[in-house]
């Protein structure tokens, strides 16, 4: 934030640049070596890790809109699906480079973000959420019906990103994407723009009175958040190799929303931090209680409701108020970094 003291040594400078605290860096390093540590080096556990990291990426970018400017983009997974389908079609029809087509998917998703941003400009809160929701529904319906292009419910095959059978390279790609997305979102939040976002989110009238132009900032927010969704969708397409319109369902957006909110709204890192344990817990529940289908999602929903009622700040608030306020100097440095660690991990 604004009152950061300039870091002197190169390590602190690097941390400042990536918006991480030493603890955050440690967590990412642990995540990076995790595929080689015994219980996690099975292929299916790496698949869980990948889906958790995917969820983390989406939760960060979702929280960028929902937590900062306080508009729930309820068509989020439809935007992600737009990016995924675009990328897959670019590769299969036009023979485009995969990485390039992922970016093009992001670009198209950004355009959808502009559309949602423009049409929700005059609306607030629940109206904007509804509009984004119906936009997503229309997008999903179109995807189902454009069979000549998307093969509809039969599913579209997408080329895999790499030729390996192993999941480890994919894991590193998505982990890198996660860190990059977090850093980008955090950079934006640290500038003047981030302050403007928060002002708009808290009280739009007051923000407008203080000379903030909400049009520009809301559009910028939607564009960034949707671009990220599109690129992550491209990864989804080229990792799983098959796309169905099911991935654009509202239920998927609800999953992202639950992760972001249990993690702590407005914190950006909370969703990413909670995505890993939550995904593992859900997958464990599902695989160990396979005779009780749906129990994992019931628990998921109950968790969301409980957190929303009794602890609206989520995991991030818990971490900030109980763990971060440590007395020890070394622990304080590790948890907060040189810059006082405002809101960063």
Partner 1 sequence: MSQELKNGLWAKITRNMSLANISIIATILVAVLATLDRGGYMLVNTLVEGGMIALMSMGLALTLGVLNIPMFAHGEFFMIGTLVGYYVFTPLSSYMTSHPESYLVFWGPIITILAAAVAGAIAGVIVELFIFRQLRKRSRENWVMNSFLLTVGLSVVLINGHQLFFGADFKGIVGYYHGSPLTILGVYISRDRCFASIVAVLVVALFWYFITHTRIGRAIRSVSQDETGALMVGIPINAILMLTMALSCALAAVAGAGLLFMYPSYPTVGLMPLYMAWFVVILAGLGNVMGAVMCSFMVALLRVLTITYIGSGWDLVFPSILIILILIFKPSGIFGTEVRGVLDK
Phi, psi of 238 (to 5 degrees): -85, -5
Comparison of 222 and 261: residue with beta carbon closer to partner 1: 261
Distance between CA atoms of 82 and 202, rounded to whole angstroms? Answer: 30
Q: Which of residues 123-142 bind partner 1 (CB under 8 A)?
A: 123-127, 129-131, 133-135, 137-138, 140-142
Least distance to partner 1, CB of residue 69, Å:
12
- Cβ distance to partner 1 smaller for residue 295 or 334: 295
Contact 160, 239 (CB under 8 A): yes
Closer CB to partner 1, 76 or 239, in the complex:
76
Neighbouring residues of 223: CB distance < 8 A, sequence distance ≥ 6:
110, 113, 114, 117
User: CB 325: neighbour CB atoms within 10 A?
Assistant: 11
The residue among 22 and 271 lying less far from partner 1, judged by its C-beta, is: 271
Identify residues 1-60 at the interface with partner 1 (CB under 8 A): none
- Which residues in the 274-303 window bind partner 1 by CB under 8 A? 292-295, 297-298, 300-302
Can you name the residues that pair with 157 across neighbouring β-strands? 242
DSSP state of 66: I
Which residue intervals of 34-75 are DSSP H helices? 43-63
All residues at 6 or more sequence positions from 11 whose CB lies less than 8 Å from its CB, including other chains: none
Task: Give the one residue of 122, 322, 327, 329 binding partner 1; rule: CB under 8 A.
Answer: 122
- CB count within 10 Å of CB 103 equals 18
Stretch that binds partner 1, among 92-100, 182-190, 207-215, 304-312 (CB under 8 A): 304-312
- 308 scored as a contact of partner 1 (CB under 8 A): yes
Q: Which residues bind partner 1 (CB under 8 A)?
A: 70, 72, 119, 122-127, 129-131, 133-135, 137-138, 140-142, 144-145, 250-251, 254, 257-258, 261, 292-295, 297-298, 300-302, 304-305, 308-310, 312
């Amino acid at each position: 934030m604004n009152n950061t003291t300039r870091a002197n040594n190169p390590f602190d400078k690097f941390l400042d640049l990536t918006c991480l605290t030493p603890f955050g860096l440690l967590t990412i390093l642990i995540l990076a070596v995790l595929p080689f540590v015994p219980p996690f080096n099975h292929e299916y556990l790496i698949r869980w890790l990948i889906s958790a990291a995917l969820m983390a990426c989406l939760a960060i970018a979702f929280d960028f809109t929902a937590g900062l400017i306080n508009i729930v983009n309820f068509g989020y997974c439809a935007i992600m699906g737009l990016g995924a389908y675009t990328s897959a079609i670019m590769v299969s029809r036009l023979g485009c480079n995969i990485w390039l087509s992922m970016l093009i998917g992001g670009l198209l998703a950004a355009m959808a973000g502009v559309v949602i941003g423009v049409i929700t400009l005059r609306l607030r809160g629940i109206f904007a959420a509804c509009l984004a929701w119906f936009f997503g529904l229309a997008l999903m319906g179109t995807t189902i019906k454009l069979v000549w292009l998307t093969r509809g419910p039969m599913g579209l095959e997408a080329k895999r990103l790499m030729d390996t059978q192993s999941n480890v390279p994919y894991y590193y790609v998505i982990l890198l994407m996660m860190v990059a997305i977090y850093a980008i979102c955090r950079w934006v939040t640290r500038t003047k723009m981030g302050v403007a976002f928060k002002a708009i989110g808290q009280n739009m009238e007051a923000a407008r009175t203080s000379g903030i132009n909400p049009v520009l900032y809301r559009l910028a927010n939607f564009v960034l958040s949707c671009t990220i969704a599109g690129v992550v969708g491209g990864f989804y397409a080229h990792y799983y190799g098959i796309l169905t319109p099911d991935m654009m369902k509202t239920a998927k957006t609800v999953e992202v929303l639950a992760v972001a909110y249990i993690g702590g709204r407005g914190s950006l890192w909370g969703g990413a931090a909670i995505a890993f344990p939550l995904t593992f817990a859900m997958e464990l529940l599902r695989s160990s209680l396979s005779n009780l289908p749906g129990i994992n999602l019931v628990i998921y929903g109950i968790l969301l409701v409980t957190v929303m009622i009794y602890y609206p700040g989520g995991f991030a608030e818990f971490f900030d108020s109980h763990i971060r306020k440590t007395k020890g100097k070394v622990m304080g440095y590790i948890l907060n970094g040189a810059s006082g660690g405002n809101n960063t991990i």
